[in-house]
Amino acid sequence: MRRAALAVLILAFAFLPALSSHAQQAPSQVSASAPAPPSSAPVSVPPASEKAMRYYRTGNVLWVIGTLWGLLVPTLLLFTGISARMRDAARRAGRNWFFTIAIYGILFTLVMTVLSLPLDYYEGFVRPHAYGLSDQTVAKWWSDEIKGVIVGCIGIALFLWIPYLLLRKSPRRWWLYSGLAAFPLLVLLLFITPIWIEPLFNKFGPMHDKALESQILALADRAGIEGGRVYEVNKSVDTKTVNAYVTGFGGSKRIVLWDTTLAKMSPPEVLYVMGHEMGHYVLGHTWQLIFLGTAVALFGAWVIHLTAGELIARYRDRFGFTELADVASLPLMGLLFGVVSLVISPAALAFGRHVEHEADRFGLEITRDNHDCATAFVKLQQENLSNPRPGLLYKLWRADHPPLGERIDFCNGYRPWETGQPLRYGDKIRK
């Protein structure tokens, strides 16, 4: 959704698979004395329905198409000279260097939006409706799309000058400084997103179920989280699927529960979801993923520095520019960064799966509610049409969470408190 808008900060934000930890998560009980679960019987992993398998297979095809399209579009902008013509138009309109960069960035965002619109519309609107996963209106989809484009235009106009200024000032080390600049930019993005960006698309507010909210706050107290906020968001206007996530930084940190999750999961299951999300805070996953994003940006900028010069020298007549410091090179940066992202995806996604697995562990250790943990993942599988046992290629290149079958198995089997074994995160949980 909103591919063009998300493309605006290519060097800093192009590859952060799990910064916002979209929860494929589960349930729990909030109790200081670790009560026995409501059932000790293991929960079976249900086989994927025929519809879920069709959704899985067509999703893989769509991912391949989207990935290839994401590489093809910047290639077309380069070899057709469109990028150079956009730069010329930006120079005429902007007159000085800064406004030339800003106007080119806006033109780039708009062109990417138009070229990606058919795929975005099918993926974001047609397909969810075809599989019964959404009741979103056409008006809401278009409203969100337009808002996303506006946010993208503002973002690129504000920040695109950074790598190009560094290219002018330090042609040999620009990649190092640009990669390091990703760190404060990611922190800033994480801080402002829940305050100014996400509320543009959905309504966020306090939980309506105050009894459940008090249990969640009690669980947060046991996790040592002070000043945490729990928000309910009306995602039912967009989707029938269930989810929850952590977002924000410092004063903007919050845990967000979709209203669909609250409607379809039992209170103990919701509490496990909260335990999982609290684990992300307590275990420092936000910082870890910011550092991962910075490392990816740094590596990507370095690869661009090593390879772009030769490509420009070979195809300068087709590209319409002779140096990387020319803003018309933005599609080239995007293309090379896209290739880098594709190559290193397995490693980055593996780290994301590790982070989510440890949050699962924390959720179990603070709730000790194996049964509701497992049943929450079962509901997630069924409501989101997930394949609990995806293939290896899917896991390597698409899965930023462990497969749901593995997570249900873990919920069934992880019970160190029953045999007197120490908890891995016992020192982080108040009794």
Q: Under the phi-then-psi rule, with left for phi > 0, alpha for psi from -120 to 50, and beta for the rest, what region is 132?
A: left
DSSP assignments along 376-416, one per residue: HHHHHHHHTT--SS--HHHHHHT-SS--HHHHHHHHHH--G
Which residue intervals of 223-329 are DSSP H helices? 259-264, 267-282, 285-319
Single out the catalytic residue among 145, 232, 269, 277.
277
Output the 3-class SS for 176-228. HHHHHHHHHHHHHHHHHHHHHHHHHCCCEECCCCHHHHHHHHHHHHHCCCCCC
Residue 292: C-alpha distances to residues 77, 345, 379 (Å): 30, 12, 31
Q: What is the 3-state secondary structure (H, E, C) of 53-97?
A: HHHHHHHHHHHHHHHHHHHHHHHHHHHCCHHHHHHHHHHHHHCCH
Contact 18/355 with Cβ under 8 angstroms? yes
Please tell me whether residue 315 adopts helix, strand or coil conformation: helix
Residue 233: exposed, middle, or buried by beta-carbon count in 10 A (0-12, 13-18, 19+)?
buried
Do 275 and 366 contact (CB within 8 A), yes or no? yes
Annotated catalytic residue 277: yes
Phi and psi (nearest 5°) for 253? -65, 145
Query: What's the token pair of residue 239?
Result: 């989707």
Q: Tell me the C-alpha to C-alpha distance, in Å, between residue 121 and each of 60, 113, 126, 266, 310.
A: 17, 11, 7, 33, 37
Residues with Cβ within 8 Å of residue 290, at least 6 apart in sequence = 19, 183, 186, 187, 190
Please tell me the distance from the alpha carbon of residue 223 to that of residue 59, in angstroms, as a whole number. 37
- Which residues are within 8 A (CB) of 349 and not within 5 positions of it... i.e. 6 or more apart? 17, 18, 396, 397, 398, 399, 400
Q: Are the CB atoms for 293 and 177 separated by under 8 Å?
A: no
- 113, 149 contact by CB (below 8 A): yes
Active site residues: 277
